[in-house]
Structure 1
Amino acid sequence: MFANAFRVEISATEIEKALCYKFAGNVVCSWGRGEDGQLGHGDAEDRLSPTQLSALDGHEIVSLTCGADHTTAYSESRVEVYSWGWGDFGRLGHGDSSDLFTPLPIKALHGLKIKQIACGDSHCLAVTVEGEVQSIVIAKALKIALRRSTLQVPNFFFHRCELGFLLLRYTTGNVVCSWGRGEDGQLGHGDAEDRLSPTQLSALDGHEIVSLTCGADHTTAYSESRVEVYSWGWGDFGRLGHGDSSDLFTPLPIKALHGLKIKQIACGDSHCLAVTVEGEVQSWGRNQNGQLGLGSTEDSLVPQKIQAFQGVSVKMVAAGAEHTAAITEDGSLYGWGWGRYGNLGLGDRNDRLVPEKVSTVDIKNQDEKMVMVACGWRHTISVSSSGGLYTYGWSKYGQLGHGDFEDHLVPHKLEALKDSFISQISGGWRHTMALTSDGKLYGWGWNKFGQVGVGDNVDHCSPVQVQFPHDEKVVQISCGWRHTLAVTERQNVFSWGRGTNGQLGHGESVDRNLPKIIEALSVDGYGGKQLEASKVDPSSGKTWVSPTERYAVVPDETVQGHAGAAVPVKGNGSDASVPENDVKRIRF
Structure 2
Amino acid sequence: MTTENQVVHALKEMIGGNSLLKVGRNGKAHFRHFRLAKDLSGISWSSPRKDKQETIILVSQMDSLLLGQKTKVFLAKPMPELKTLSFSLLYSDSEGFHRSLDIVCQKQREFDIWIIGLQQLINGIDDKSITTELFQDAKTELIINTEQSVDDLVELDHLIVLNSAQIDQSVFGVYTWGSGINGALGHGEDIDIPSPRVVEALLAYNIKRLACGLHTVFALNGIFCNNDLTLLYLMFYYLLKIIIKALLSNIRAEDGKVYSWGLGKYGILGQGNLRSRFAPLKIASFKSSNVIDISCHELHAAAVTSSGELYTWGKGSENFNRLGYLCQNKQTSPALVHSLSAYTIFSVACGYNHTLAVTNTGSVYSFGDNSNSQLGVGDTEPYAEPQLVTVLNDENIIKVACGKYHSAALSAKGNLFLWGLGDDGQLGLGNYNLSTEPTILHIGEKKAKVMDVACGDLHTCILTVGGLVYAFGSNIYGQIAAPSMNKFHLPYRISFNTSKRFVSVSCGSFHSAAITENGKLYAWGLETDGRLGLGDCKQRSSPTEVEGFRDKKIGRIACGSKHTAALIILSSSADKKFKSSWRTT
TM-score w.r.t. the length of structure 1 is 0.59
User: 1:351-391: CA deviations, max 9, x gaps?
Assistant: 11121101134xxxx74322221001110011122211111
Partner of 1:192: 190
1:443 lines up with 2:441 in the alignment: no
* Deviation, structure 1 residue 141: 13
1: CA distance between counterparts of 2:324 and 2:553? Answer: 44
Cα distance change on mapping 1:344 and 1:142 into 2, 3 Å: farther
Residue pair 1:284, 1:304 contacting (<8 A) in 2 also: yes
Partner of 2:179: 181
* Deviation, structure 1 residue 223: 2.2
* Deviation, structure 1 residue 259: 3.0
Q: For structure 1, which runs of at least 5 residues remain unmatched after alignment?
A: 1-139, 144-170, 536-588
Partner of 1:308: 339
1: CA distance between counterparts of 2:308 and 2:387? Answer: 17
Partner of 1:432: 460
1:262 partner letter: V
Residue pair 1:369, 1:385 contacting (<8 A) in 2 also: yes
Partner of 1:554: none
2: CA distance between counterparts of 1:383 and 1:412? Answer: 11
2: CA distance between counterparts of 1:420 and 1:481? Answer: 26
Q: Secondary structure at the match of 1:507?
A: coil
Count of residue correspondences: 366
Partner of 1:59: none
1: CA distance between counterparts of 2:296 and 2:553? Answer: 31
2: CA distance between counterparts of 1:258 and 1:534? Answer: 30
Alignment of 1:151-550 (within 5 A): 173-224=171-222, 225=254, 227-288=256-317, 289-361=320-392, 367-416=394-443, 419-523=447-551
Q: Secondary structure at the match of 1:396?
A: coil
Q: Secondary structure at the match of 1:469?
A: coil
1:303 partner letter: P
Instruction: Report % sequence identity.
Output: 31
- Farther-moved stretch of structure 1 (450-459 vs 310-319): 450-459
Q: Secondary structure at the match of 1:439?
A: coil
1:209 partner letter: I
Cα distance change on mapping 1:463 and 1:330 into 2, 3 Å: same
Q: Secondary structure at the match of 1:356?
A: strand
Residue pair 1:392, 1:407 contacting (<8 A) in 2 also: yes
What's the Cα RMSD here? 2.6
2: CA distance between counterparts of 1:196 and 1:422? Answer: 32
1: CA distance between counterparts of 2:255 and 2:365? Answer: 31
2: CA distance between counterparts of 1:467 and 1:447? Answer: 15
1: CA distance between counterparts of 2:485 and 2:182? Answer: 29
Residue pair 1:450, 1:514 contacting (<8 A) in 2 also: yes
2: CA distance between counterparts of 1:510 and 1:394? Answer: 29
2: CA distance between counterparts of 1:450 and 1:277? Answer: 39
* Deviation, structure 1 residue 456: 3.1
Cα distance change on mapping 1:504 and 1:355 into 2, 3 Å: same
1: CA distance between counterparts of 2:552 and 2:200? Answer: 25
Cα distance change on mapping 1:430 and 1:373 into 2, 3 Å: same
1: CA distance between counterparts of 2:278 and 2:484? Answer: 36
Residue pair 1:201, 1:534 contacting (<8 A) in 2 also: no
2: CA distance between counterparts of 1:226 and 1:369? Answer: 28
User: 1:170-209: CA deviations, max 9, x gaps?
Assistant: x962111100000121100111011110001111120221
Cα distance change on mapping 1:453 and 1:255 into 2, 3 Å: same
Q: Which has the higher contact order (CA 8 A, sep 6+)?
A: 2
Residue pair 1:325, 1:333 contacting (<8 A) in 2 also: yes
User: 1:497-537: CA deviations, max 9, x gaps?
Assistant: 010111111111111011100122135999986897679xx
| Structure with a larger share of its residues in helix | 2
User: 1:126-176: CA deviations, max 9, x gaps?
Assistant: xxxxxxxxxxxxxx9999xxxxxxxxxxxxxxxxxxxxxxxxxxx962111
Residue pair 1:270, 1:321 contacting (<8 A) in 2 also: yes
2: CA distance between counterparts of 1:326 and 1:187? Answer: 27
